[in-house]
Amino acid sequence: MSMRLETRKHLYDIQCAAGLLREFTSGRTFADYESDAMLRAAVERQFEIIGEAMTNLAKVDKSAADRISHYRRIIAFRNILIHGYANVDDRLVWDVVKTNLPVLEREVEALLEESEDD
């Protein structure tokens, strides 16, 4: 069964935001991140986009969302960034970039590749 266009759109939005996160943080250290307000704002914004796209993906295609590790935690992370903005933990955000982002990118890429095979 082919993947819905709307599902692909949300996956593509996640993929694009993840790519920007990788680009923004490439060659940077946590000290760079912590001392650069513009970098922190840019990174947080891309995570907000990922979380929003994941929320929408879960609404339109729960089975696709279920194939992304910890998708509920991704949505929760977006909510923390938006609603708990006054006490965002920079170390946590940086750790998510370095630890979880590569996994998310691989899983989204696999889903998009499958959709091309339909």
Amino acid at the residue 11: L
DSSP symbol at 102: H
Give just the sign of the alpha carbon dihedral 39, 85, 95, 45.
Answer: negative
Q: Residue 100's closest CA among 82, 81, 77?
A: 77
Q: Could you give the CA distance from residue 10 to residue 60 in angstroms, rounded to a whole number?
A: 9
Domain ranges in the chain?
A: 5-117
Q: Could you give the CA distance from residue 64 to residue 108 in angstroms, rounded to a whole number?
A: 9
- pLDDT tens digits for the chain (118 residues)? 468 999 999 999 999 999 999 999 999 999 999 999 999 999 999 999 999 999 999 999 999 999 999 999 999 999 999 998 778 899 999 999 999 999 999 999 999 998 877 6
CATH number of 5-117: 1.20.120
